[in-house]
Amino acid sequence: MYEILVKPILTVLFLAGGAFVALAILFARIRRRRELRKEEGHRAPVQEKLLRPPGYSASQRVEALTDDFVEAGVVVACLGAGVAASVLLGGRFLWSWLTADPGSAIRGPIPTLLALVLYVGAFAATLGLAIREGRRLLRLDEERENWRLGARGEQLVGEALNDPAILAAGYRIYHDVPGSEGWNIDHVVVGPGGVYVIETKARSKRPGNDGQPSHEVQYDGQSLRFPHWEDRKTLDQVKANVEWLRRWLGDHVSKDLAFHAIVVIPGWFVRANGNYPVKVMNSKYLKGFLPGQPKTFGPSILNPALSKLEERCRTLEV
């Protein structure tokens, strides 16, 4: 009875407990090494902080999701091993039960019932957890890919904003401007035309509906109509970002300073049906749009906004 029923269970528990203790010791050593580095006076070579790069928050989110993805993958692998172990142990017991003498102890009702409860229960519970974690793994992978696409889109728009014509026109660019409660503005551009709040939306392309070209976005001032869905939230989002920035700058800037909202959709052709307050364009059009704006505001009006944004965005330690 011990060899058939108890010993395999104790072996699995022993191995699982050993793996848990080994991981706990490893994490404790990593944490202790970090603490020792601080105690030994390790610090950054310079104290000056860096400006946030384009797509910084999205890239941080990708890293966090990657950590969760790896953790979920390890859990799924362990649970898969548990399912396999349950099947093997259950099969071993079933074979021993079938080949045992009718009068042996293993054929008794109590050992049989106990084995069924242990093995079937362990198998069902482990399989259920494995399926749940497997679904979580798929969701994490999809979410990570969406954030990676968003980060790449912001980086592409960031490169477009570094165009020599935009810089020569006197514009300063700030990326990933922190808002309140964990959100951010993708890009803020300050120059002779005023303050431009830019929201980047990177979207993948696929065959469209109703004959609309797969590379085209139609804009009617109320929504962005992609070939396979309609987006109204982005326009509301960029408007809200403009209002937040206007309130945040508040009395620090002139009331005459103009604020503009722009949505940039990299890689798409935007067909606008009119001239609307919120401008929608692709990254290539953006390069010519900003330098072509009227030069209305000088340094005396722009410098207070630049100073506040510089302080807001210079947060990264070396």
pLDDT at 6: 52
For residues 134 and 183, state if they share a domain: no
For residues 10 and 142, state if they share a domain: yes
Is residue 31 one of the residues assigned to a domain?
no
Q: Could you tell me the end-to-end alpha-carbon distance of the chain, in angstroms, rounded to an integer?
A: 63
Tell me which of 156, 173, 195 is where a domain ends.
Answer: 156
For residues 168 and 146, state if they share a domain: no
- For 212, the domain range is 164-316
For residues 194 and 302, state if they share a domain: yes
For residues 110 and 227, state if they share a domain: no
pTM for this structure? 0.77
Which segments of the chain have a pLDDT < 50? 1-2, 4
User: What is the Cα–Cα distance from 246 to 171, expressed in whole angstroms?
Assistant: 18
Is residue 35 one of the residues assigned to a domain?
no
**Residue 37 carries which DSSP code?**
H
Name the phi and psi angles at 65, rounded to 5.
-65, -35
Is residue 37 one of the residues assigned to a domain?
no
Number of domains forming the structure of the chain:
2
Is residue 39 one of the residues assigned to a domain?
no
Name the phi and psi angles at 264, rounded to 5.
-115, 125
User: What is the Cα–Cα distance from 52 to 50, expressed in whole angstroms?
Assistant: 6
pLDDT at 2: 43
b/e burial code for range 140-179 (CB count within 10 A of at least 16 → b): beeebebbbbbbbbbbbbbebbebeebeebbbbbbbbbee
For residues 175 and 140, state if they share a domain: no
For residues 111 and 226, state if they share a domain: no
For residues 269 and 180, state if they share a domain: yes
For residues 125 and 219, state if they share a domain: no
Tens-digit pLDDT profile for residues 223-267: 999 988 899 999 999 999 999 999 999 988 999 999 999 999 999
Residue 208 maps to which CATH number? 3.40.1350
